[in-house]
Structure 1
Amino acid sequence: MNRWTSPADVRDMLEKRWKRGDFLRAVLEEESVPNIDLPYRIRLSRPSSREMTEHFDDVRRWIETIRSFADRRGCDVEWKTVDHRQLGRNDVPIALVVPTIPHVASIIGAQNELESFRRQVTQLLSRLPETAAWIRSRPFDLLPLEDDLDRLIRFVEWMRGNYPSGMYLRQVDIPGIDTKFLEKYTGTLSAWLDLVLPAERIDRSYRAAKQFEQRYGFSRKPDLVRFRLLDSALVPAFAGFADLSVTATDFSNCPFIDRGVKRLFVVENDISALALSDTPDAIAVFGRGYYFDYLAEADWLAHLDVHYWGDIDTHGFAILNQFREYAPHARSLLMDRETLLAHRTYWTREPRPFRGTLERLTEHERTLYGDLASDTFGDNVRLEQERIRFGTVRMAVQGTTLSA
């Protein structure tokens, strides 16, 4: 008993299908939706012959509950006549038939969602019919857009008729649309623009939402590279500045060698980079994790003595591996087994270790990386560079000067 389908069970089944978006997709009526046929039939779990004998009063109440629920909700009931040896002939409900999507919405309390969806579908498809595929694949993403839908459509319409060609998003002059608004909706706008714009207007080498400007022809705020001069003798060649931030383009084009630079350190931790000093002919570049695009055009890098100093953990070696794509001759600094073991009391845990294959490491680096990745020293061991004793750092940096 009590395995019989109840009105609450019906609501739960419909709500699960609703949350999957199947009923909203069916609203489009442009293609069939798998397993959604209207009227929508829900098979009922019903009493067995034995249960009808032993719990006949409960069965009658259950039948009346289903009948009453169907009447209140405007649904139909499919019946089956059961011939029972003791009870005679009885009509038992075997399925509940929900005639339309509005009936589904009424049963689960989603009438407002349905009406909002219909309004927005009508508005969006009347102006940007190409977005039908997006609605079909992500119907619930449309629902929160109602208050801003007109502005979103107007921006896409503007893009369809205008070529940004190097302008900044800030320069888009459409009433009611500002940079903050566009930045809030780059994901949605990217999905629509990919469907609306011709292929030649989209640079697919850039990711849609995260590199929105580059993907659709806008200029973006230039990346800045920060570096410090570790030798005071270099300062006059850099207009008297010892700590500079320049665009990635300017950094790549800077004649560092002509200005006396012979040694370059990439240091991931800012305070560690600030603490370095008194190193002849050297500069320290403030690292930014996996981002090294600013070195793509720096041909002069091949002529410098280059060192990379990052954390001793799996991502530290993964970043070093990526850095060597731009500086194959780069040597790691303080990323060795001896340094790790000498600072055991400073170990912490790496939150999400990297487990991939790294092809650009030296034999010793690869062995240490493998031990970290396989938890040879313990679970997710890491030694962050700022935890290394500074006397050890000073000696290591001096050692690069002697070996240069």
Structure 2
Amino acid sequence: MTPDAWSRPEDVVETLRRKWAGGRYLTDAAHGYPFEPIAVSLKGPTASDALHHYEQALAWSQSWAPSLHPQLRLQTKSIGGRNGLPSHTVPARAWVETRPALWALLGVTAQVDHFHSLCERTALHGSGLVDWMADHPMKVLPHAELWHQLVRTVCWIRDHTTKQVYLREIDVPGVDTKFIESHKAILAELLDHTLPKDRIDTDAPKSDLATRYGFRTKPIYIRLRYLGASPLPFSELTVRADELARWSPAVRTVFVLENEITYLSLPPVADAIAILGSGYAAALLRHLPWLDNVALYYWGDIDTHGFAILDQVRGRFPHTTSILMDRTTLLAHEAHWSQEKTQAHGNLTRLTPEEAHLDQDLRNATYGPHLRLEQERIAFATVRETLMRQQG
């Protein structure tokens, strides 16, 4: 073994630091478990190494002098003494025998003291979080300076009914929506531990605190425009989805499309409205039961995402008809083709045979890789002619 492979004091510290980073040492301390002395085996010179690298072996042995490492107890062994080789006593194992010695060796005494202080103060809130802290100390330490604000936030949520409350209304000193947004990952872990199961929507991701923990969520708005004569003093409205669900615009035809400028420039169509889907048509339309009783048309980009949205819309409204999402339209606008960055995945089961065939051709790069035709690139004369045909 070459001298480069011999264990150095900093190697021992690094070995222990990796275990510290895993949280085991602080977890045992937080739970009050007795300390078990820790042994780290040392790689050192053999008798032959000591003979051929005497100066280096001597320097190595001196680097382990007890006065240089007061936190360690060194266990030694003898090498040599046979076959004419001289005998030497060298370090064989380094022991850490107390927790204070371990904390000092790793330079974490202040962190440990702060952690214990956090546990003591957290216990005063009766939140049941101290056991969680003991099990996850390395999730606590990065948030140590903000820990009491996090705990108070969790306790406020625990003690209040949140169904009619927005996250903005949490009333904790130093806590606002930016604080909550910046620390939602750790808050989610603490809330999952603290709240009863009936207050946690496990289907909602931890990143969506409002939905997961029963707060009021930002309302969904639907934007619509009358293409014919409006019975209101407005030609265009943006309305809360839950309110629009209870009020029908009293038209026979509804066009849903994704592009805003196309939505704004649609030609007049009697007894019809346009709804701006903006990529979320399926999520928006499910709130509007009166769409069951109208002629519903969906117009999206001719690409895999457009057909995926169409498939989702039909999941709620099977009578939906697509417009300008056909092979004839695609081939007539070759000069305006572009590419999707990524294609949509999933098994689409609600497309017509013609739509499914075109969607498959797009996926198979029949006309080119990741091909798409965006709706705003379709000739406006074609749009006008198609809408008039639907009206007729």
TM-score, normalising length: structure 2:
0.82
* Deviation at residue 245 of structure 1 after TM alignment: 0.6
The change in CA–CA distance for 1:296 and 1:109 in structure 2 (over 3 A counts) is same
* Deviation at residue 244 of structure 1 after TM alignment: 0.7
Structure 2 Cα separation of the partners of residues 170 and 94 of structure 1: 60
* Deviation at residue 297 of structure 1 after TM alignment: 4.3
Q: Which of 116, 119, 135 is residue 117 of structure 2 equivalent to?
A: 119
Partner of 1:241: 234
Q: Do the aligned residues in 2 keep the contact of 1:225 with 1:246 (CA within 8 Å)?
A: yes
> Equivalent pairs: percent with the same residue?
34
The change in CA–CA distance for 1:174 and 1:393 in structure 2 (over 3 A counts) is same
Structure 1 Cα separation of the partners of residues 78 and 214 of structure 2: 69
Letter in 1 for 2:275: V
The change in CA–CA distance for 1:71 and 1:225 in structure 2 (over 3 A counts) is same
The change in CA–CA distance for 1:229 and 1:113 in structure 2 (over 3 A counts) is farther
Verify: 1:280 aligned to 2:266, yes or no. Answer: no
Partner of 1:385: 375
Partner of 1:10: 12
The change in CA–CA distance for 1:62 and 1:269 in structure 2 (over 3 A counts) is farther
Structure 1 Cα separation of the partners of residues 137 and 172 of structure 2: 27
* Deviation at residue 8 of structure 1 after TM alignment: 4.0
Is the radius of gyration larger for structure 1 or structure 2? 2
* Deviation at residue 160 of structure 1 after TM alignment: 3.2
Structure 2 Cα separation of the partners of residues 131 and 56 of structure 1: 56
The change in CA–CA distance for 1:324 and 1:120 in structure 2 (over 3 A counts) is farther
* Deviation at residue 283 of structure 1 after TM alignment: 1.7
Which has the larger displacement, 184-193 or 130-139? 130-139
Q: Which of 131, 139, 142 is residue 141 of structure 1 equivalent to?
A: 139
Q: Do the aligned residues in 2 keep the contact of 1:306 with 1:329 (CA within 8 Å)?
A: yes
Partner of 1:199: 197
* Deviation at residue 149 of structure 1 after TM alignment: 2.6
Verify: 1:250 aligned to 2:247, yes or no. Answer: no
Structure 2 Cα separation of the partners of residues 329 and 22 of structure 1: 59
Q: Which of 60, 63, 79 is residue 62 of structure 1 equivalent to?
A: 60
Q: Which of 216, 221, 226 is residue 224 of structure 1 equivalent to?
A: 221
Please state whether the residue corresponding to 2:158 is helix, strand or coil: helix
Letter in 2 for 1:135: M
TM-score, normalising length: structure 1:
0.80
Structure 1 unaligned spans of 5+: none
Structure 2 Cα separation of the partners of residues 336 and 16 of structure 1: 60
Q: Do the aligned residues in 2 keep the contact of 1:251 with 1:294 (CA within 8 Å)?
A: no
Verify: 1:314 aligned to 2:304, yes or no. Answer: yes
Please state whether the residue corresponding to 1:254 is helix, strand or coil: coil
Q: CA RMSD in A?
A: 3.4
Partner of 1:41: 39
Please state whether the residue corresponding to 1:220 is helix, strand or coil: coil
Letter in 2 for 1:145: H
Partner of 2:93: 95
Q: In the TM superposition, what are the counterparts of 1:224-373 in structure 2 within 5 Å?
A: 224-231=221-228, 233=229, 235=230, 237=231, 239-256=232-249, 259=250, 261-290=251-280, 292-344=282-334, 346-373=336-363
Q: Do the aligned residues in 1 keep the contact of 2:71 with 2:104 (CA within 8 Å)?
A: no
Q: Do the aligned residues in 1 keep the contact of 2:66 with 2:74 (CA within 8 Å)?
A: no
Structure 2 Cα separation of the partners of residues 330 and 120 of structure 1: 58
Partner of 2:188: 190
Q: Deviations over 1:152-184 (max 9, x none)?
A: 323333333332342344444444444444444
Q: Do the aligned residues in 2 keep the contact of 1:230 with 1:281 (CA within 8 Å)?
A: yes
The change in CA–CA distance for 1:76 and 1:251 in structure 2 (over 3 A counts) is same
Structure 2 Cα separation of the partners of residues 31 and 346 of structure 1: 70
The change in CA–CA distance for 1:241 and 1:141 in structure 2 (over 3 A counts) is farther
The change in CA–CA distance for 1:370 and 1:42 in structure 2 (over 3 A counts) is farther
